[in-house]
Amino acid sequence: MRLREKTAILTGAGSGIGTATVRKFLEEGARVFATDIVGASLEAMVREFPSLATLAGDVSRREDVEAVVAAAVEKWGRIDILVNSAGITARSLGPDASLEERWDRVMAVNVKGSMLMGHTVVEAMRASGGGGAIVNVASVMGFTGYPTALPFSDGFNPYPSSKGAVAQLTRDMGVRFAAEGIRVNAVAPGFVHTALTANVTGNPEILETLERLHPVGRMGTAEEVANVIAFLASDEASFVNGAVWMVDGGYSAQ
């Protein structure tokens, strides 16, 4: 088990890639502290995985972030791994949200949330002697614009910009903290079957378009992304730092 005895905080743990990563980390022997803004989803996970430690919180709020990190340190004495999986799209806010409301909230969760968690965990890693691994969840949309064949953007969708910022945050953190033994990497998934995409993949035409956009001819699964996250968090990736790994079925290679 590649993560045996490692302690990990996973954000956005209540659904999608976050939930799949929790399962993968537990399988790999990690001790997992899961956080999500939806407390009920964490309660359901504890029923499935009794060893899981949890605390609900909003990653865009510093006080929530500090509470999560403090609770993890109190429980295990240190933090070895952080996975920033919490994220939303503009669709998450509903049809009545204004352009600015969509932009501010997506940026707050996807970018500010990753920054706050990273900043707080780095301080905790330093306090316990240094060293560790951080894996951010970016997106292929951080490197490409939304295809015009999809009705996702009017040119001002905040999601691609937010995920591009996560990728750049990853590079900057990776360079800065390498000398302290803290590796920072990211995954950039293509379109994956999760709750974030369920409200559009129910449309057969959109689903067919999404599948066709990936050279492998299908969308990805949360488990496939979790597998790469687990590798990047493990000691097997000891010489991987400041990198963004595309997990997109060839989408970005076109």
Q: What is the CATH number of the domain that holds 148?
A: 3.40.50.720
pLDDT computed for residue 92 by the predictor? 83
Per residue in 32-56, pLDDT tens? 999 999 999 999 999 999 999 999 9
Q: For residue 83, give the nearest of 149, 13, 23 by alpha carbon.
A: 13
Give the SS3 label for residue 182. Answer: strand
pLDDT computed for residue 213 by the predictor? 94
Per residue in 191-234, pLDDT tens? 999 887 877 888 899 999 999 999 999 999 999 999 999 999 99
- Choosing from 159, 177, 191, 251, the catalytic residue is 159
Query: How far is Cα 107 from Cα 146, in angstroms, rounded to an integer?
Result: 17
Taking the chain (254 residues) in consecutive chunks of 10 residues, what is each chunk's mean pLDDT?
Answer: 96 96 98 97 95 97 98 97 95 87 97 98 95 98 92 91 98 98 98 84 90 96 98 98 98 95
Q: Residue 105 falls within a domain, yes or no?
A: yes
Q: Residue 1 falls within a domain, yes or no?
A: no
pLDDT computed for residue 178 by the predictor? 98
**Domain count within the chain:** 1
| Predicted TM-score of the model (pTM) | 0.96
What's the distance, CA 87 to chain centroid? 7
Q: Residue 80 falls within a domain, yes or no?
A: yes
Structure tokens at 234: 């493990």
Surface-to-core class of residue 206, CB atoms within 10 Å of its CB (0-12 exposed, 13-18 middle, 19+ buried): middle
Q: Residue 2 falls within a domain, yes or no?
A: no
| Residue 119: how many other CB atoms lie within 10 Å | 13
Q: Residue 160 falls within a domain, yes or no?
A: yes
pLDDT computed for residue 35 by the predictor? 98
Structure tokens at 127: 């306090």
pLDDT computed for residue 218 by the predictor? 96
Place of tokens 């609770």: 71
Q: Residue 207 falls within a domain, yes or no?
A: yes
Query: How far is Cα 167 from Cα 188, in angstroms, rounded to an integer?
Result: 8
Give ∠ CA 219-111-147 in degrees, rounded to 5: 35
Cβ atoms 136, 170 nearer than 8 A: yes
Q: Residue 97 falls within a domain, yes or no?
A: yes
Domain of residue 42: give its range: 7-253
pLDDT computed for residue 166 by the predictor? 98
What is the identity of the amino acid at 11? Answer: T
251 as an active site residue: the answer is: no
